[in-house]
Amino acid sequence: MENMQINRAALIEKFPGKGGWSYIIITEISPDFRDRFGQVKVSGTIDHYILENATVMPYGNGKFFLPLNANIRKQLQKQAGDTVLLKIYLSRSSKMAETDLKEILADEPNALSFYKDLPENEKSHYLKWINDTQNEETQVERIAKIVNDLYERSRYERPIKAQ
């Protein structure tokens, strides 16, 4: 699912030193879109230049940077210090995050409560099982099984909390 995340003027900056990368700082990206390495895949435009599946990398302090190689700068006819119109769309990862699973479990309060009390390694096991497949239909089936499993377990068990 893609949605417009950024639509603003952006300054092209450059890391100091010979061979320093040119880039645009991005602060508007939510943690939900990051992959396990902290990177984010985006599409959109920089002025008239079309970005497809570009990688935005962590910059620090919650910020990201979008590298602009020489080819992009040449097509834009821009360099460090120039301003461009940046329109970015984010693609949510097909990976299930714990916040996503909790949101789904919210429809079954007993299952959610049971899940919250599970040890971290068991929570991780559920998420790993969902994310071990790239097939969306299989992911949905696994999520449904987990919801049912947690609901049934909530009726008969008490989780052993990690010490």
CB atoms closer than 10 angstroms to residue 101? 20
C-alpha 65/C-alpha 13 separation (Å) is 10
* One domain for residues 20 and 83: yes
* One domain for residues 82 and 133: no
Element (H, E) at 128: helix 120-131
How many residues are recorded in the chain? Answer: 163
Q: How many domains does the chain have?
A: 2
Contact 113, 107 (CB under 8 A): no
Element (H, E) at 104: helix 98-105
* One domain for residues 21 and 47: yes
In a domain? residue 30: yes
Residue whose tokens read 């700082």: 25
Q: What percent of the chain is helix, strand and coil (3-state, nearest 5)?
A: 35, 30, 30
Q: Report DSSP state, residue 38.
A: S
CATH of the domain at 84: 2.40.30.100
Residue type, 153: R
pLDDT, tens digit (0-9, with 9 covering 90-100), for 18-47 = 778 899 999 988 766 666 667 788 889 999
For 70, the domain range is: 5-91
Residue after which a domain boundary falls, among 37, 69, 91: 91
* One domain for residues 14 and 86: yes
pLDDT at 92: 58
* One domain for residues 70 and 27: yes
pLDDT at 109: 86
pLDDT, tens digit (0-9, with 9 covering 90-100), for 89-137 = 876 555 677 877 888 888 888 889 999 999 999 999 998 898 887 666 7
In a domain? residue 141: yes
In a domain? residue 163: no
* One domain for residues 28 and 106: no
DSSP E strand boundaries for 15-160: 22-26, 40-46, 49-60, 63-68, 83-91
Instruction: Give this prediction's pTM.
Output: 0.56
